[in-house]
Structure 1
Amino acid sequence: MKIGLFFGSFNPIHIGHLIIANTIYDRTDLNEVWFVVSPQNPFKKRKSLIHEHDRLRMVELAIEDNYHFRASDVEFHMPRPSYTIDTLTYLSEQHPQHQFCLFLGSDNLSQFKKWKNYEQILEHYEIYVYPRPGEKQEFDHPAVHWVNAPLLDVSATFIRESVQKGYSVKYLLPQKVEEYIRDKKLYL
């Protein structure tokens, strides 16, 4: 099977993540999309992250009605911070029957050459890039495929701040994720 890996802190997962994942799944030759919850992104500060198991649970709730989507905690069991090449290598060794590829926002693609062993990623894995506001399609490589997807600017930071201030996050999150955040009193 061909598996698209959507890495993220998902702090929290929101409607923008789901729209992007569904659009890329629908418009490519992928068989599944795995949401890889990253415990610690090497480019982000840890202090704003809620516990990884809460973030994983929210992903599970958000995707439970889509049998093409799967939540993955693979990086929970790996050294931290998480580096994409290490996770790709590990998954490829554990699941040699699958072909893995990577989802990337064009904003992250502009920083891609700063990633650990980015050349190996380009050599061994396809990358599906979706547009982000203010970013141009300037990275040209045979492994990079631009996907026509909605230009979304939904921000997890905006959602967290809204929750902290008591504002509605309806329509920004799947209902079950919104209920989970409320029930567990997350981001307060």
Structure 2
Amino acid sequence: MRKVGILGGTFDPPHFGHLLIANEVLSTLSLDEIWFMPNQEPPHKKKSSAIKNEDRFSMLELAIEGNGQFRIETIEWQRQGPSYTYETMRLLKEQHSDIQFYFIIGGDMVEYLSKWHKIDELVNLVQFVGVERPSYHCRSPYPILYVDIPAMDISSSMIRKRLKVGRTIRYLVPDSVISYIKENHLYET
């Protein structure tokens, strides 16, 4: 059975923190692949910006370029309304019965798991993988594998704020993503 990690998020924009998490989980758990799964409308937060799905996809494609074990899964873009992980993973399991899925979440989401839609059913579909994030303590009554990653406190919202005030994002996102942002005038005020 293949082992695939799922890293969901808005990726608005994708950054080195996302790539570091994916690579560390891939390596530590000896997974076959990591699927980056951009979401349409996460139920736990409001839409972060007016960036089109096509732009988020293109930036994510550029960010993972060159790593044959990383790919993009767009199943959540094919559905309307809030993206509930239970529904998504149920569909993925139906489509890929030969895959054991490992759903990667940060410390902030570990603390929030009890509020997830159909969490008791979801833990039977996937193995959760928790990664430490600064200022969060990964504690949960649910079965979670923990992977230590080097501390890198980067967020997409921080990158958007920096861009809004004209600050550099060099070394926070891949150069190809920076070029795409500039060429397409994304995140301008």
Q: Same fold (TM over 0.5)?
A: yes
1:70 aligns with 2:51: no
1:19 aligned counterpart, secondary structure? helix
Which residue is 2:12 aligned to? 11
Aligned to 1:187: 187
CA RMSD of superposed structures (Å) = 1.2
8 A contact 1:5–1:36 mirrored in 2: yes
SS in 2 for 1:87: helix
Correspondence for 1:121:
122
Q: Is the 8 A contact 2:104 2:130 kept in 1?
A: yes
Instruction: Render the CA deviation track for 1:102-154: whole Å, top value 9, x for unaligned.
Output: 0000111111111100111112310110001111132244x310111112210
Distance in 2 between residues matched to 1:33 and 1:14, nearest whole Å: 15
Which stretches of structure 1, 4 residues or longer, exceed 3 Å deviation after superposition? Answer: none
Residue of structure 1 equivalent to 2:82? 81
Query: Partner of 1:174 in structure 2?
Result: 174
Residue by residue over 1:22-72, the C-alpha shift from the partner in whole angstroms, topping out at 9 and shown as x without a partner, is 011111031000000101111111252411111111111100110000012
Q: TM-score, normalization: structure 1?
A: 0.95
Show CA shifts across 1:66-112 (max 9, x none): 00000121111113210111110111111112121200001111111
Between the aligned partners of 1:150 and 1:71, the Cα distance in structure 2 is 24
Q: Which moved more, 1:6-15 or 1:70-79?
A: 70-79
CA distance 1:66–1:130, change in 2 (3 Å): same
Q: Provide the C-alpha distance between the structure 2 equivalents of 1:144 and 1:69, rounded to a whole number of angstroms.
A: 22
118-127 vs 40-49, which moves further: 40-49
Which residue is 1:155 aligned to? 155
CA–CA distance in structure 2, aligned partners of residues 14 and 42 of structure 1: 22
SS at match of 1:123: coil
Aligned residues: 187
SS of structure 2 residue aligned to 1:48: coil
2: CA distance between counterparts of 1:173 and 1:47?
18
Give the distance between the partners of 1:132 and 1:78, measured in 2 at CA. 29
Contact 2:89-2:125 at 8 Å conserved across structures: no
Aligned residue for 1:43? 44
Alpha carbons 1:163, 1:187 under 8 Å: kept: yes
1:128-181 alpha-carbon deviations (Å, 9 max, x no partner) = 10001111132244x310111112210211111111222111000001101000
Give, in whole Å, the separation in 2 of the partners of 1:95 and 1:138.
30
What runs of 5+ residues in structure 1 fail to find an aligned partner?
none
Instruction: Report the TM-score when normalising by structure 2.
Output: 0.95
